[in-house]
Amino acid sequence: MNDHHKLGRELELFDSAPLIGAGLPIWLPDGAVARHAVESYLYELERRNGYRHVYSPPLAKREMYERSGHLPHFADDMFPAMDDLVLRPSLCPHHAMVFAARGRSYRELPLRIGELGGMFRAERSGVLGGLQRVRAISLNDGHIFCAPEQVVGEIAGSLRLMKQAQQALGFEPSSIRLSARGLGGKYVDDPAMWDRAENQLEQALKLADVSYVEAPGEAAFYGPKIDVQVLIGGRESTLATVQVDYYQPARFDLSYVDADGERKRPVMVHRSAAGSMERLFAHLIEVHGGAFPAWYAPLQLAVLPVGAGQDAAARAFAAECHAAGIRAERWIEGTVASRVRAGAQRKVPYVAVIGPREDQDGTVSLRDRVVPVQAAIAELSALCKLPR
Ligand SMILES: [Zn+2]
C-alpha cells in the first residue's frame, strides 16, 4: 500500500516539524508546486462555472460565531478565543457577510462565492497525522446563495462540478453518503427544515445520477449533507461535501428583494469541489503512488544530454520548454541510464534524451520515439497544461 507519509517524505512534498507542532504540516517546494497547479485548476473550473472568488481573513469576533451557531454547537472543535477573536472553524459566516455587503436582488441569484481559505480545528493530538487530519486546513470552499426553487439545481450542479474535478485529478470516491441528522442534541431543532433539506439533497443526487448510501447521524449541526468519501491509509475519510442550510441565512438575517418586491430569505448551499488541499493530497499521493498526472507533477520533464557535446542543445530545448510553460530541468550528472532511473524515482512523467544524432537532426528522443524539437514542445506543452 502507498502510504502518503512515506511517499511525501521520499518525494519531498511535505514535512512536519516538532517545533511547528502536530497537525501543522509545511508544504515543501515540490508539494507546493503540485498544490499550486491544483489550486489554479480549481479556480479556473469554478470561474467557468459562474463562481466569484473572494478573500476573507481566518479570524473573526466571537460574536460572529455565537450568531452562526458554531460556538453553541461546535465549540469542542474550535480553539479557545484570543481576547475577543476566534480562529475560524469554517468560512461560512465570512461568506454570509459577502452576501450581506449590500442589498441583493433576485436577479443576482444564484450568487456563487468561492475561496481557497484557511480555517482551524482543535483536533486532538492522537488523531493527527500527515496531511490526512490537520489543525490548519486550506479548504477549497464555496457558498451558493440562492432562491428556494434553485436549491436542487445548484446541488446537482455542485455534484457535477465535483465529478469533473475528480476526473481531472484522477481519482474516484470510495462512496458517496447522504448524511442525515441522528439522535442527540448537537443538531439544530427544526424537524420540518431537516425534512425539506434532506429531500432536496435526495432529489439532487437523483438528478445528477449519483448513487449513494445513507448515513444517519453524520450531518452538520445546521443541516444534512452529501459526503464524498475517499480512502486514505485504507480508511474512509470525508473529502468534500455539499450541504443545504436554512439556518445560517436566518441567523444572519440575510435577504434579497424578490420579483414581487418582497424581502425573501436566500438558502445557503455549502460545497467544496475537492475538499481541503491537505486531505486531497493525502489521497492523491496514495492513489497515484506519488506519480501525479503530468499537469500537476512538480517536475514535468527531465532533459538529458547524452554527453557534454549536447549540452548546448539540451540547454536550448529546456529553455524553450520553460517558455512554453512546461516545468523542465536539464540533468547532466551521471550516466544516461542512472538519470533515467532518477527520473522514475522522482516520478517525472516525461524524459527527453538528446544524443549526437538528435542534436544534429534537431530532434529529441521521448521514451520510444524521436520527434522534431518544435513538435516535441507542442506535444509536451499540451500534455502538461491545466486540463479544461
Ligand atoms: Zn460553509
Distance 122 CA to ligand 1 centre (A): 18
Residue range 253-263: mean pLDDT, rounded: 97
pLDDT category of residue 191 using cuts at 50, 70 and 90: confident
Distance 242 CA to ligand 1 centre (A): 9
Distance 59 CA to ligand 1 centre (A): 15
Separation of alpha carbons 147 and 37, rounded Å:
34
Distance 26 CA to ligand 1 centre (A): 25
Distance 24 CA to ligand 1 centre (A): 22
Distance 91 CA to ligand 1 centre (A): 6
Distance 266 CA to ligand 1 centre (A): 14
Position 2 scores a pLDDT of 84
Mention every residue, 6+ apart, whose C-beta is less than 8 A from residue 262: none
Distance 65 CA to ligand 1 centre (A): 13
Position 37 scores a pLDDT of 98
pLDDT category of residue 1 using cuts at 50, 70 and 90: low
Distance 189 CA to ligand 1 centre (A): 19
Residues with CB under 5 A from ligand 1 (ion): 92, 270
Tens digits of residue pLDDT in 80-94? 999 999 999 999 999
Distance 228 CA to ligand 1 centre (A): 15
Q: What is the DSSP letter of 147?
A: -
Distance 278 CA to ligand 1 centre (A): 18
Q: Parallel, antiparallel, or unpaired for β 267-271 and 136-146?
A: antiparallel
Cell numbers standing for residue 158: 455542485
Distance 114 CA to ligand 1 centre (A): 10
| Full 3-state SS string of 53-92 | ECCCCCEEEHHHHHHHCHHHHHHHHCCCCECCEEECCCCH
Distance 10 CA to ligand 1 centre (A): 35
Separation of alpha carbons 173 and 175, rounded Å:
5
Distance 151 CA to ligand 1 centre (A): 15
* Torsion-angle region of 209 (φ positive above 0: left; ψ -120 to 50: alpha; else: beta): left
Report pTM. 0.95
Distance 222 CA to ligand 1 centre (A): 10
Separation of alpha carbons 90 and 142, rounded Å:
11
Distance 249 CA to ligand 1 centre (A): 11
Indicate if the alpha-carbon torsion angle 9, 12, 18, 22 is positive or negative: negative
Distance 282 CA to ligand 1 centre (A): 22
Q: What is the mean pLDDT of the chain?
A: 95
- 371 to 155, 356, 362, 376: CA distances (angstroms): 47, 14, 9, 6
- Domains of the chain in start order, with CATH, are 4-287 (3.30.930.10), 299-384 (3.40.50.800)
Distance 142 CA to ligand 1 centre (A): 7
Separation of alpha carbons 345 and 348, rounded Å:
8
Distance 84 CA to ligand 1 centre (A): 22
Cell numbers standing for residue 271: 460545497
Q: With 80 as the cut, is the pLDDT of residue 307 above it?
A: yes
Distance 370 CA to ligand 1 centre (A): 51
CB pairs under 8 A, 24+ apart, for 73-79? 73/186, 73/188, 73/221, 73/222, 74/221, 76/122, 77/121, 77/122, 77/123, 78/120, 78/121, 78/122, 79/120, 79/122
Tens digits of residue pLDDT in 289-298? 999 999 999 9
> Which phi and psi (to 5°) does residue 353 adopt?
-105, 135
- Helical H runs in the chain? 4-10, 29-48, 62-68, 70-74, 92-99, 151-169, 191-207, 247-251, 277-287, 311-323, 336-345, 356-361, 373-384
Q: What is the DSSP letter of 133?
A: B
Separation of alpha carbons 104 and 144, rounded Å:
14
Residue range 249-262: mean pLDDT, rounded: 97
Distance 343 CA to ligand 1 centre (A): 41
Query: Does the N-terminal peptide bond of residue 110 adopt cis geometry, omega within 30 degrees of 0?
Result: yes
How many of the other CB atoms lie within 10 Å of CB of 198? 20
Distance 64 CA to ligand 1 centre (A): 14
Best CA proximity match to 271, nearest among 179, 142, 157, 153: 142
Separation of alpha carbons 258 and 149, rounded Å:
12
Separation of alpha carbons 384 and 330, rounded Å:
17
Tens digits of residue pLDDT in 140-185? 999 999 999 999 999 999 999 999 999 999 999 999 999 988 877 6
Distance 220 CA to ligand 1 centre (A): 10
Residue with cell 461535501: 241
Distance 143 CA to ligand 1 centre (A): 6
Query: Which amino acid type is present at position 95?
Result: H
Best CA proximity match to 129, nearest among 279, 29, 241: 279
Separation of alpha carbons 278 and 164, rounded Å:
20
**Whole-number percent of the chain with pLDDT over 70:** 99
Tens digits of residue pLDDT in 80-131? 999 999 999 999 999 999 999 999 999 999 999 999 999 999 998 888 888 9
Position 185 scores a pLDDT of 66
Distance 292 CA to ligand 1 centre (A): 29
